[in-house]
Amino acid sequence: MPQTDEALLAAIAKGDLAAFEHIHRRYLPKLMHFARRITGSHEAAEEIADDTLMVVWRTSNRFEGRSKPSSWIFGIAYRLSLKKRQSLDRQRNDVVLEDDLVSDDSDTAETYMLQKDLNSALERLTPELRAVVELTYYNGYLYTEIAEILECPVGTVKTRMMTARRRLRDILSDDAPILSENAVA
């Protein structure tokens, strides 16, 4: 069984179900986490992760190797997440229940509150800013790779990161006024 993502995508293009299952196991949790950060919905994230992997299954023959396979896969997830987020924003008239927090294996009240504050602050960012933070800090991508995923120039990624950091700093400061997302965006 080929182990590199490139080899797995080539095998998937030939209909190799075992290669697809390997990619599925490798990427499903990462894609779900990423999509949840963009959409704010666990249910939507599951759907997006599944849809992303189905796109990989159906279109792996289109992967040309100009980027890393993970960048190509996350690019698909990003575009699907943005579409879903727009759809959810149009439908959202009710109260949204908070998803479970990402655990760092610490059960202290302070750590819990810090994580909750950070998650709340991230939710107040626009999807484009949140995606840059998510891809950088939670998935370890470089700016050049993020530019490929988001289909924008590297300079735009850097600007979005600078803007996201500034907004997060403002949101998380103790004396920051409480603003709506529209006021922050």
Cβ-proximal residues to 180 (8 Å cutoff; 6+ apart), any chain: none
Instruction: Please give the pLDDT value at position 106.
Output: 47
**Residue, of 102 and 62, whose pLDDT is higher:** 62
Is-above-0.85 flag for pTM? no
| In the chain, % of residues over pLDDT 70 | 79
Q: What is the pLDDT of residues 145-182, one digit of tens each?
A: 999 999 999 999 999 999 999 998 888 886 455 444 44
CA distances to 20, 73, 167 from 24, rounded to whole Å, are 6, 11, 35
Between 123 and 22, where is the model more confident? 22
Vertex 161: Cα angle to 159 and 166 (nearest 5): 95
In this prediction, residues 89-107 reach a mean pLDDT of 47
Give the contacts of 37 (CB within 8 A, at least 6 positions apart): 122, 130, 131, 134, 138
